[in-house]
Structure 1
Amino acid sequence: MATYLAFLRAINLGATRKFPKDAIVSATEAAGFSGVATHINTGNVRLETAMRSRARIEAALEESYLAAQGFEVPTIVLTPAELRAVVEEAARLAPDHAGRHYVSLLKVEPGAAVVAALEARSTPDERVHVAGRGVHLVLGESYHLAALSNAVVEKHLGVATNRNLTVLRALVQKWC
């Protein structure tokens, strides 16, 4: 059995997209996965499976989540090694960063041309750096006014879900 980490996009936002942790665990187990655990109620899931295809795992989870909640839940799956690499890249990229560091996790690794176009949007106050399926948004203290966001990432690179670096570091310590 291999361990994977699933990141659910756009849950627990507003009145119509509620997906409590217990329901996430139940739906994940109903899809045939074991060793299921969650971390905070923002759609971070650890699971075990004999499956080896990330696309098949994502599809099985998305189908089960739709059946359980009645709305689509785009899901991005990483291996523990992939998540460790994302967090290590963050340390290399901005070791002394005093502002905010968010990471958009991508469903599909982007091509070089779209990466270059997105990275060209960086400014001295807001930087974007793409490494594999991790898009690092290094923002200043006025991060809530930033021009760079997960919505911008998705517009250029496709389906993504965003986490702050603190959460990703906690997941690496807890699950990797």
Structure 2
Amino acid sequence: MKASNVLLLPGWQNSGPDHWQSLWEAAHGYHRVEQHDWMRPLRGDWSARLEETVLDADGPVVLAAHSLGCILTAWWAAHTRHAAKVRGALLVAPGDVERPDLAAQIHGWVPLARQPLPFPAVLVGSRNDPYCSFERAEGLAQAWGTRFIDYGERGHINAESGLGEWVEGHAWLRELAGDAA
């Protein structure tokens, strides 16, 4: 799979320079789906941007989503006519936007899409994620029909988790892309 067809979907506030998504972008040339407003995410705008990017891609794509990017993936997949272009999705540490404290900060993302994803996916959840309980992550994986990986106590599986380039996660992405050795 071409590097430009691996789409990185950061969450709220984007992914900083030490985040595994940013490190993958720098090391492998993957394509970050740039949103118009990282601080005040609007589900319709983010979905439209993902739709444009998937349609513009030269061939099938693989999605690597973090946090709100996971919620975006499920919403987009439930509403697009172009899900067949997605070969697979790595969904990491979904943010629970239905939780009252997060819903107050991130408006307009409720309800969560709970339909099974129309493409293969892996959801990686942490037992001590401050933005989504382990049980909730497991439940989303079940609703979306994804393989679930219990990643132990790794926080929000971001730069603060000390993952660096996150070789293990990259191997799961490559499997989904059909590039595994």
Normalising by structure 1, report the TM-score: 0.29
Higher percent of residues as strand: 1
Normalising by structure 2, report the TM-score: 0.29
